[in-house]
Amino acid sequence: MFFLTLLVLCRRNRQLLEVCHILLNNPKSGYKFTNYSPIIAIFANKSCDNRRIGRNQIMNIEQVREYTLSLLGVTEDQPFGDDIITFRLEGKIFVCLWLGGGKYDMKNGEPRLALKLAPERNEELRVQFHAVTPAYHWNKKHWSDVYYEHLDDAQVEEWIKESYQLVASKLPKAIRQKYIL
């Protein structure tokens, strides 16, 4: 019962979340998810998987921009105002990076980007990660907001590339060939 209470508190308090994560994932502690019911194990994983604990590196806004621009044929512009940069492939938007402030501010100004992904992939990521939500002011079926500072840099790069490849796959065949890897 103690651990169930601890896990519930972890959902509400970041410091307790870190203690929970260390306790349950440290082999020296002697605690394993197998010692608890599967529901508690799933709950513990869900509450711990989207935080900065145990991650490699967190991307900042400039790293997101640099990585996205490093993809072949990508251009950037600001059609929606000074607080949003869109990244395009052959004129088709695949990433929308919010710069902060402005009329699109939400969630206390946490940095985010919107990615175009397949509808089933969006649903999958929203269930799996708290840092992925339906996109604000975009078609929620095809676009998700990603709060990239809560995720590993490799994960964010993978999703940006996935968005890029989705848009590339929809281009006319003659143009598509130079972008599909």
Per-domain boundaries in the chain: 2-48, 61-176
Contact, 134 vs 144, CB < 8 A?
A: yes
Nearest-angstrom CA–CA distance, 115 and 133: 10
Task: In whole angstroms, give the CA distance from residue 94 to residue 165.
Answer: 9
Q: What is the pLDDT of residue 153?
A: 92
At residue 8, the pLDDT reads 37
**Helix, strand or coil, per DSSP, at residue 96:** strand
> Which token pair is 2?
């103690």
List, run by run, the mean pLDDT of 10-residue segments along the chain (181 residues). Answer: 39 42 49 40 39 62 95 95 92 92 64 94 94 86 92 94 96 89 62
Report the CATH number of the 61-176 domain: 3.90.1150.30
C-beta atoms surrounding 128 within 10 Å: 12
